[in-house]
Structure 1
Amino acid sequence: MDRPGISAIAHTDHPIAAPLGDDSVHALLDRALPHGDARLLDLGCGSGAWMLRAQTSRPGLRAEGVDNAPETLAAARCALTDAGCGDRSVLHAQDAAEFTSPHRYDVVLSVGATHAFGGLLPTLEAARTHLAPGGGVLLGACFWEREPGRATLDSGFAAEDFDDLATTVDRITADGWTPLHGHVSTLQEWDDYEWSWTGSLSRWALEHPEHPDSGQALKAAADHRAAWLHGYRGTLGFVTLLLHRTTRP
């Protein structure tokens, strides 16, 4: 089973692929989305959970999503169609970093997808090229809540992967962006996310013992749970920021 396949199963019960509860997602979207006719672009849309929530709350919103995982895009298409948003949604099967469009968007969203662009600032640069004048970016990214110790580094991270929160925001503002709002995921949100991730994958493996990938899935869940509980729990943070350009181009 490849990584997108594991991720699709692991997010069965937590379709927002980030440590954010439903209340936080709705609050962030309410601040970010304009009323009336508008366009949203989700770079790294996965199963379309952000698009679905955005279009449900804003009937006039047209949304486009970009992702390179066919399985999750198929799930997104079904979910958006079932919710009555199919005629206001477009999905693109390609790498988000390579996406181009004739449109400019009132909101560009990229939550938990900075790896697709090679880091924090390249993600913002990609978002900027798609942003309409006066539009906003909703960016979700990891940071270090505290200096990572040996257990965190042994769980698959490098100290230079992230900065602390203050340095992360300083880098963003120095790049020409102004934060208008931010949400730092709580430990409860992290725990809910990780228990759901590992639990959904484990449950699938136990319910499908005959599947050739069940053993791999069960091991992936166990390895992830160990890395979280013994490694990065309480050390890895996640912040979601609503950003506008400090000076318009």
Structure 2
Amino acid sequence: MSREQISAIAHAHHPIKSPLDDDSVSRLLERSLPQGHERVLDLGCGTAEWLLRALAARPHLHAEGVDVSAVSLTRARQAARELGVDERLVLHQQEAAEFGPSEPFDLVISIGATHAFGGLLPTLAAAREHLAPGGRVLIGESYWERTPSPAAVEMFGELADLATTVDAVVADGWTPVHGHVSSRAELDAYEWACWGSLASWALDHPQDPASAQVLEAATDARSDWLHGYRDSFGFVCLVLRRTTE
């Protein structure tokens, strides 16, 4: 089973592929889309869950998403048709970092996808290229809540703490106008949902040739979380505006 297929199973019960509950997602979209008729771009959209929720709640919104995964975009198109928002959604299959400038967007989203650009500040630089004057960026990034173990650093790399992360964003010419720090409940719910979904699939399909592989993946990931990074990992979403246009 491919990594992409495993990810799809893991997120079956948590389609927002980040440690955020539905209320947090709704509040972030409300702060990011004050008019309700904006043009929105999601760089690294996956199955376009952020865009689908925004479109479903705002009938005058138009959105575009960029992702390299054909499987994810196919699912996004199907979901858009089922919601009746497909005429207001355009999806591009390509590397998010290679998506060229087009008509400016009022909101650029990148949640948990900064690895595609080489880090937080390069992601903001890419977002800036697509942003209309007065527009907003909604970005989600990991940080260290506490001093991490060597195993956690090996898994996630050299993250900063929350204050340093926000300071770097401000120094880069952005002003936070809203933010959300994922709670312990949100962080734990995300991990349990992902690894529990994988384990359940494996136990429900004992005759499938991939069953043992999927169960091992769930077991290893749960162990990495509980023994490696649970006590140190944090996640923040920021709504940003350019400090100077």
Letter in 1 for 2:87: D
Q: For residues 152 and 47 of structure 2, what CA distance do their matches in structure 1 show? A: 29
1:153 is displaced (CA, Å) by 3.7
Q: For residues 200 and 73 of structure 2, what CA distance do their matches in structure 1 show? A: 23
What's the CA shift string for 1:97-130, capped at 9, x where partnerless? 1112421100000000001111000000011101
Give the equivalent residue in structure 1 for 2:121.
Answer: 121
Work out whether residues 121 and 169 of structure 2, in 8 Å CA contact, stay in contact via their aligned partners in 1: yes
Is the deviation greater in 99-108 or in 13-22?
Answer: 99-108
Match of 1:171 among 168, 172, 178: 168
Give the equivalent residue in structure 1 for 2:7.
Answer: 7
1:210 is displaced (CA, Å) by 2.5
1:63-212 correspondence runs (5 A): 63-153=63-153, 156-158=155-157, 160=158, 162-212=159-209
- Residue 153 and residue 125 in structure 1: after superposition, are their counterparts in 2 closer, same or farther (change >3 A)? closer
Give the equivalent residue in structure 2 for 1:47.
Answer: 47
Q: Secondary structure of 1:178's partner?
A: strand
Q: For residues 185 and 71 of structure 1, what CA distance do their matches in structure 2 show? A: 28
Q: For residues 175 and 97 of structure 1, what CA distance do their matches in structure 2 show? A: 19
Q: For residues 156 and 118 of structure 2, what CA distance do their matches in structure 1 show? A: 15
Q: Secondary structure of 1:211's partner?
A: coil
Q: Secondary structure of 1:52's partner?
A: helix
Work out whether residues 104 and 132 of structure 1, in 8 Å CA contact, stay in contact via their aligned partners in 2: yes
Determine if the alignment matches structure 1 residue 214 to structure 2 residue 205. Answer: no
Q: For residues 218 and 74 of structure 2, what CA distance do their matches in structure 1 show? A: 24
Could you list the runs of 5+ residues in structure 2 that have no partner in the other structure? none
Q: For residues 82 and 157 of structure 1, what CA distance do their matches in structure 2 show? A: 36
Q: For residues 205 and 103 of structure 1, what CA distance do their matches in structure 2 show? A: 45
1:210-249 correspondence runs (5 A): 210-248=207-245
The alignment yields a C-alpha RMSD, in angstroms, of 1.2
Q: Secondary structure of 1:103's partner?
A: coil
1:45 is displaced (CA, Å) by 0.7
What's the CA shift string for 1:169-218, capped at 9, x where partnerless? 01000000000011000010011100000011111122222222222111
Q: For residues 15 and 101 of structure 1, what CA distance do their matches in structure 2 show? A: 28
1:151 is displaced (CA, Å) by 4.7
State how many pairs are aligned: 245
Letter in 2 for 1:106: D
What's the CA shift string for 1:49-86, capped at 9, x where partnerless? 10111111211110111111111111111111100100
The alignment's TM-score, normalised by the length of structure 2, stands at: 0.97
Letter in 2 for 1:199: G
Q: For residues 36 and 240 of structure 1, what CA distance do their matches in structure 2 show? A: 20
Work out whether residues 35 and 60 of structure 1, in 8 Å CA contact, stay in contact via their aligned partners in 2: no
The alignment's TM-score, normalised by the length of structure 1, stands at: 0.95
